[in-house]
Amino acid sequence: MPKSKGMICAPQPEAAEAGVEILRAGGNAVDAAIACALVQTVVDPLMCGIAGFGSMGIYLPGRAEHLYVDFHSPAPRAARPDMWENIIQSEARDGYGFILDGNVNDVGYQSICVPASLAAYHEAHRNFGTLPWSEIVQPAIAWAESGWTVRPHVHFFWSDPGMMGRVPTPDRIAHTPASRALYCRPDGSPKRVGDTVRNPDYAEVLRRIAAGGADVFYRGEIAEQIEADMRANGGLISRQDLRDYRPRRTAPLWGEYRGYRIATNQPPGGGIMLVEMLNMLEQFDLAALGHNSTAYIRLVAEVMKRATIDKDRFVGDPDFFDVPVEQLTGRPYAAQLAAEIQGGVRAEVERFNAGFTQKDTTQISVIDAAGNCVSMTHSLGMPSGVITPGLGFMYNGCMAVFDPRPGRAGSIAPGKARFSSVCPSIVFCDGRPCLVIGAPGATQIAMGVLQATLNVLDFGMSMTEAVVAPRFSATSNAIDISNRIPRSVSRALESDGYEVVRSPYTFGFAAVHGIRIGDFGLDGAADPGHDGVALAV
């Protein structure tokens, strides 16, 4: 069998197919990733959207380009550090945001940060794509107009009852009449597996974007409609917020692990956590411990907790907070933390008044015949439930993850982006990519990417084995585990004094999607907890 010349991996089959068709039409990895992303906004509309946020790693060896296009949604100019200080109920146990009176930060017009995704898609294509922009947008237009069928994981998320005081997803879907009309049955319940969703309003918006690019959204007629809706419903977004928004280009944040080089994203993305955790784990012989053994889970959980503590204290938008990147990603600091773990010291993760996190994000991993690679994670954060009449897309709900307590790394400030665990990454061996990886999964993203990366690098797993293996997480003092991890392991952890929370689900803790690259060719895998595929070209 001939080796594949390219591959795309995504959690939605329609999106992956669109990316493959773009590669076959002569597009490069950037073209394919953007076409895939735009289809994702149609067929997984509560996971991502043109009014969302994310981070995109781009490696183009023929052009000697390696960079990130980061598009973290900033808080609107109308936001203030103390605007919600007096209505805090609690912090989520896993650290993914705060619960406020009336859930004002979680759903509705005040939960929306400045839309960022479309600007990033358009800028990445304009600078690094090869096919015409209108051709890249066309697959998404077709799916919005003709309709798509609700898949099992889409229905699973749409029916989510909510955790830790968060608004249930069915209530988000029904929050505005426009959303309810699109995604609910006549009885008001979310559409089910096999039901069709058609979105002609969004198809028309995409046609306008195909013709006019991102400007029509940020400075043109769509911006006018957004501003009018926000003003009428108490939203914080202004016309100036839209007009002034720009994505950022940054250099990769580099880490090293057992001779591999890891390129990931800068703060406020989650790459800093990934590098810090790998640095700590390099001090230990993981293979000797045994994959998902009691000793292995205890060790990795303590590493996860320490990275979580540092994230909470030190990682925010570097324009607003002095993030000690060199210290947190330095080998001396990792050795100090590793020594604590070896000495039996258990980390304590503080939570304010403190389930699982919501998983409303999606991932794309691409490599083309020229060796160009893209890893992009993009999201709505928590879907706000808001669709402006006539526009057909849902806005992000990113205000929910800001810390409503002033004076902290994650506190609210106008124009500030909040921390996001998204960490689309590329691992290099001998100067060449050997792993393109990323995941959706809210605060669990870095934890899922970490474990799948270890599965490949330390345990020699194929990409499929790496993403299928059951995962766990420790972003609080408890260790959350998949239901496929044996009870003998969890009992031993409990006997050692750990609180272990067993998920009723066999999947979870992010949904890793990746491509492994080597002399064998391309080996891609989509996490079976979602509905995606890895398709070769």
Give the residue numbers annotated as catalytic, written as ranges: 361
Residue in 228, 249, 214 with CA at minimum distance from that of residue 115: 214
> Both tokens of residue 94?
């896993």
| DSSP classification of residue 114 | P
Measured CA to CA, the distance from residue 454 to residue 286 in angstroms comes to 9
- At 197, list the tokens: 């969703």
Q: How far apart are CA 114 and CA 39, in angstroms?
A: 21
Q: How far apart are CA 183 and CA 158, in angstroms?
A: 9
Burial 118-134 (b: 16+ CB within 10 A, else e): bbbbbbbbeebbebebe
- Strand-by-strand arrangement of the 478-481 sheet: 472-473, 478-481, 499-502
Handedness of CA 210, 113, 77, 407 (dihedral sign): negative
Interatomic CA distance for residues 210 and 133, integer angstroms: 7
Main-chain phi, psi angles of 520, to 5 degrees:
-75, -15
Are 361 and 422 in contact by the 8 Å Cβ rule? The answer is yes
Give me the helix-helix angle, 331-342 and 294-314, nearest 10°: 130
Contact status, residue 235 vs residue 229, Cβ threshold 8 Å: yes
Helix (H) or strand (E) holding 426: strand 425-429
Rounded Cα distance, 61 and 48, in Å:
29
Q: What is the DSSP string of 508-522?
A: -S---EEEEEETTEE
Give bridge partners of residue 254 from the DSSP assignment. Answer: 263
* Tokens coding 513: 């999607």
CA–chain centroid gap for 506, Å, is 20
Measure CA of the first residue to CA of the last residue in the chain; give whole Å: 13
Q: Is residue 494 within 8 Å of residue 480, measured between CB atoms?
A: no
